[in-house]
Structure 1
Amino acid sequence: MGRYFCETCKLFDDDTSKRQYHCGGCGICRIGGEENFFHCSKCGCCYSIILKNSHPCIEGAMHHDCPICFEYLFESRNDVTVLRCGHTLHRNCLKEMQEHYQYTCPICSKSVCDMSKVWEKFDAEIAAAPMPESYRNEKVWILCNDCGTSSEVQFHIFAQKCPSCKSYNTRQTRGR
């Protein structure tokens, strides 16, 4: 018999340095030490204790395919990361997205990281490129992907800024 044994999973392992434990909520054995994780019943999975009071719950967050590589997350051997919006994907898939300058969640389109420095650059570019006189009073309706606010804003060919959260992660919904 192994030094670690789980009656439920029928798992034997002599290498206890992995700090195995059985999570009743997940129904599987996990590694990393039970004291370092908690099970979120709504999400249906275990997360690092660091996220206990701050993760956004999404029902069944790990019980779907990675939106990038389409591997089932719950049974994946690859590291999974939780985005600010609560959606999950493989850490390597997120890294690849960012290498290709993709900084929005592939599921809900919210920004996956702090974009404030990028938005400051957008502010400077827009200030340096005023619209021609014939377009200066043009307004359009936008929906902010980050905060969900719908607003009427000044049109600019480069981008439209959300007046609520100051994000440029917006989409035009009508106008122009």
Structure 2
Amino acid sequence: MEASSVNERLQFGKMGYGCKHYRRRCRIRAPCCNEVFSCRHCHDEATSMLRNPFDRHEIVRQDVKQVICAVCDTEQLVAQVCTNCGVNMGEYFCGICKFYDDEIEKKQFHCDDCGICRVGDRENYFHCKKCGSCYAISLRDNHMCVENSMRHHCPICYEYLFDSLKGTAVMKCGHTMHVECYNEMLLRDKYCCPICSKSVIDMSTIWKRMDEEIQATIMPDEYRYKKVWILCNDCNDTTEVYFHIVGQKCSHCKSYNTRTIAPPVLPQY
């Protein structure tokens, strides 16, 4: 058979099949429930809606053994090319993740350390051992490491971040959340990490504005010399400062990202 005809067979139906998550020319048989789904996300979404909570479960991608060609409907062992009609069931194929995708513009790659496939081109990412995930090259030696920082749910929408299809933002404190959730948080004038409460952007301009507001706002006599103990969320320093209705400023890092706490208990002798 000529090379051109072989290539035509492999490319037949490309981008013509799939689901809302992936364009691919196959479906998978879930090893956990023996049902057929377009992809693992379709499976997980369907099972999460089951009435009986004990029936809800997620697929383990590496356990998939059987796939069904979407072009000729032949069920077979996991492989890139259909054993019956000869089509490429996925232009990108990972035999470890049992993952197929015709949209190779995503520049998929398998990360051995993550144990799953990522998108965005291997050359643009590195795996941070402490954080336990792939980060953009721009963050190499330029981010606060938090152990297993991606292996938790987004603090805004609660979707599991490690294998989410959405982009992830790494904040100054090292904690992570979806990019769209992060941007929505800033639009709502929320500038603290939902996990550790540290400021996520440079707040110096806002702190200067608060300084000016405090200077222009004289407190009543009964509060003018009142002192309170504060804990700074940005530097974790604890100190006693003058109370003001606008806010309490950390004397160490000059941040207003503080909260009032009870005074420390002195040791007894």
Q: TM-score scaled by structure 1?
A: 0.92
Q: Does 1:114 align with 2:225?
A: no
Q: Does 1:140 align with 2:231?
A: no
- What CA distance in whole angstroms lies between the structure 1 residues aligned with 2:179 and 2:103? 26
**Once the two structures are superposed, what CA deviation does each residue of 1:93-150 show, in whole Å capped at 9, x if it has no partner?**
1122122221111111111111111111100000001223333322111000011110
- The one-letter amino acid of 2:216's match is A
**Counterpart in 2 of 1:171?**
259
Where in structure 1 are there 5+ consecutive unaligned residues? none
CA shift, 1:160, in A, is: 0.4
Q: Does 1:32 align with 2:120?
A: yes
Q: Does 1:9 align with 2:9?
A: no
CA shift, 1:80, in A, is: 1.0
- The one-letter amino acid of 1:166's match is K
Distance change (3 Å), C-alpha of 1:15 and 1:96: closer
Mapping 1:18-29, distance limit 5 Å: 18-29=106-117
- What CA distance in whole angstroms lies between the structure 2 residues aligned with 1:98 and 1:150? 27
CA shift, 1:42, in A, is: 1.4
Return the structure number with greater relative CO, CA threshold 8 A, min gap 6.
1
**Structure number having the greater strand percentage:** 1
**Once the two structures are superposed, what CA deviation does each residue of 1:39-58 show, in whole Å capped at 9, x if it has no partner?**
11211110001001011111
Q: Does 1:158 align with 2:243?
A: no
- The residue matched to 1:151 in structure 2 has which SS? strand
CA shift, 1:62, in A, is: 0.9
CA shift, 1:13, in A, is: 4.2
- What CA distance in whole angstroms lies between the structure 1 residues aligned with 2:152 and 2:223? 45
**Once the two structures are superposed, what CA deviation does each residue of 1:76-100 show, in whole Å capped at 9, x if it has no partner?**
1111111111111111111221222
Q: Does 1:83 align with 2:197?
A: no
- What CA distance in whole angstroms lies between the structure 2 residues aligned with 1:55 and 1:166? 23
**Counterpart in 1 of 2:70?**
none
**Counterpart in 1 of 2:135?**
47
- The residue matched to 1:121 in structure 2 has which SS? helix
Identical-pair percentage: 56
Q: 2:212 aligns with which of 119, 124, 140?
A: 124
- The residue matched to 1:117 in structure 2 has which SS? helix
**Counterpart in 1 of 2:189?**
101
**Counterpart in 2 of 1:74?**
162
- The residue matched to 1:124 in structure 2 has which SS? helix
Where in structure 2 are there 5+ consecutive unaligned residues? 1-80, 82-89, 264-269
Distance change (3 Å), C-alpha of 1:99 and 1:31: same
- The residue matched to 1:127 in structure 2 has which SS? helix
- What CA distance in whole angstroms lies between the structure 2 residues aligned with 1:18 and 1:69? 24
Between structure 1 and structure 2, the one with the greater Rg is 2
**Counterpart in 2 of 1:58?**
146
CA shift, 1:3, in A, is: 4.8
Pick which of 96-105 and 130-139 moved more: 130-139
- The residue matched to 1:97 in structure 2 has which SS? helix
- The residue matched to 1:125 in structure 2 has which SS? helix
**Number of matched residues?**
175
- What CA distance in whole angstroms lies between the structure 1 residues aligned with 2:191 and 2:114? 30
- The one-letter amino acid of 1:171's match is R
